[in-house]
Amino acid sequence: MGKTECKIDNGIATITFTNPPLGFFTSDMVAQLGVIMNEIEDDPKIRAIIFTGGLPEVFIRHFSVEEIIGMADALKKRRAAGQPDPRFARTALRRVWEQIDNCRKPTIAAINGFCGGGGCELTLCCDIRLAGPGKYTIGQMEILVGLLPGAGGTTRLARAVGTGKALEWVLRGRTFYPEEAAAEGLVHHYVAGDVLAEARKIAGEFLDKPPAALAFIKQVMRSSYGKSIADGVDEEGDLFANLIAQDERTLQMMRDYVAGGHKLTKI
């Protein structure tokens, strides 16, 4: 059946996907992830979320093709009975991807193994993508089994790397080794060592930052797609005013900066 498990340590939630032997994602794991996301989204003690794989050399290999074949059979039966098709754009998988995409807390994908299809879709929902060492591949390879991405892979990939690159990759089913993925912009950073440790290090940077400021940054930047510059700047200005008017942590950080001689640490 596979497991989606969450461990919380010092304000950081680490969600791990484990489905031996091959690490496919399943509907059961989607449901488990939805429950977890509901719980941690509403927990003020959790300040950042990491996603990683629980099997050696596997993040999420891809969504179960066996289940997709079962979906095809069910669709044929519905059509034979004269029933309309369900909206695949409203599936549980899409809803949980959108939970991650719209999460108000920083999210990090610590990719530690094969990451294709639905696995790649999940990482594209995250704010930061890290890839650790190995001979595994990352990408939207659905066309190699006759499919196209079904829960946002085309749109989110295009936004991450540009429409031109994304179109070529999805048409050809191109995948990339970790260092290649970093060079192409599919992931933000290649990590030569322990990718989960690096993800935790980055997540730790968010522990002392105002949650409202982090959430506002995500809101304005993620909602900017399709907006004019003027509309985007209007929203940004409104959020800026709301933050400095209501968030005491923000004000205290500014006061500390001034009192400390205007010194910042380079990240």
How many CA atoms lie within 13 Å of 245's alpha carbon, on the beta-carbon side?
6
Structure tokens at 195: 């990718």
Q: pLDDT tens digits for 71-106?
A: 777 777 777 777 776 665 567 888 999 999 999 999
Alpha carbons 68 and 84: distance in angstroms, whole number: 18
Contact 49, 104 (CB under 8 A): no
Q: What is the DSSP letter of 142?
A: G
Q: Which residue has the higher pLDDT, 151 or 140?
A: 140
Supply the pLDDT for residue 246.
Answer: 83
* Domain 3-204 CATH class label: alpha beta
From the list 200, 219, 6, the residue with the least C-alpha distance to 109 is 200
pLDDT reported for residue 78: 75
Write the CB contacts of 240 (distance below 8 Å, at least 6 apart in sequence). Answer: 216
DSSP one-letter string for 54-76 = SBTEEEE--B-HHHHHHHHHHHH
Domain extents in the chain = 3-204, 211-259
Write the pLDDT tens digit of every residue in 142-196: 998 888 888 889 889 999 999 999 999 999 999 999 999 999 999 999 999 999 9
Q: What is the pLDDT of residue 54?
A: 96
User: Mind listing the pLDDT tens digit for each residue in 49-75?
Assistant: 999 999 999 999 988 888 877 777 777
